[in-house]
Amino acid sequence: MMGGMTYRVCLVCMGNICRSPMAEVVLRRTLTERGLGEQVTVDSAGTGGWHVGDPMDERALAILAQNGYDGAAHQARQFTGDWFSRYDLVLAMDRDNLVTLRRMAPADVEVRLFRSFDPAAPPDAEVPDPYYGGREGFEEVLALVEAASEGVAKHIADEIG
């Protein structure tokens, strides 16, 4: 991170309508609660372009709202290789997207799994895609991203120290 600049993180899933925007909203709040909100920018994107411009999945919005989060401003975006220069940290929601991102990434850029920051999770743990399931899948995603967001916030605090 360049001195005096904002630390920038991007969270990435497949379509940018469920997992990564949920994680973006949760991580942003976690950072704000830790007093880091002004120093860190949180974005999200998908490796695929099918949903570009779309709002978050209604089920994701509903679960967030029921838990005091607001995802209404979200518009889906697609992550492309030239984006790596914009971010200090790029985190994938699952192994498939991790592989896709690593194929695109310059050699000096570290891409990690979002849940690798959750001390209670195995290092290769994923945030499962809830898109084809029911409400409980979205509830699980929220619980998983809340747990991992604490670890991501700690990591960022150490980085900007």
**Residues noted as catalytic:** 13, 19, 129
Helix, strand, or coil here: 12?
strand
Residue 101 has pLDDT above 80, yes or no: yes
36, part of any domain: yes
3, part of any domain: no
Q: pLDDT tens digits for 11-28? A: 999 999 999 999 999 999
The tokens for 111 are 């891409």
122, part of any domain: yes
pLDDT for res 109: 83
Q: Which residue range forms the structural domain that includes residue 102?
A: 13-160
132, part of any domain: yes
152, part of any domain: yes
pLDDT for res 107: 84
**Which H helix or E strand runs over 91?**
strand 89-92
Residue 85 has pLDDT above 60, yes or no: yes
What total of structural domains would you count in the chain? 1
Residue 4 has pLDDT above 70, yes or no: no
Q: pLDDT tens digits for 112-159? A: 999 999 999 998 999 999 999 999 999 999 999 999 999 999 999 999
Helix, strand, or coil here: 155?
helix
CA distance 65 to 132: 20
pLDDT for res 84: 96
8, part of any domain: no
142, part of any domain: yes
CA distance 83 to 133: 31
Give the model's confidence band at 1: pLDDT under 50 very low, under 70 low, under 90 confident, else very high: very low
Q: What is the model's pTM?
A: 0.95
Helix, strand, or coil here: 160?
helix
pLDDT for res 161: 86
Residue 2 has pLDDT above 60, yes or no: no
Q: pLDDT tens digits for 41-71? A: 999 999 999 999 999 999 999 999 999 999 9
CATH code for the domain of 78: 3.40.50.2300
Strands 40-46 and 111-113, bridge-based pairing: unpaired
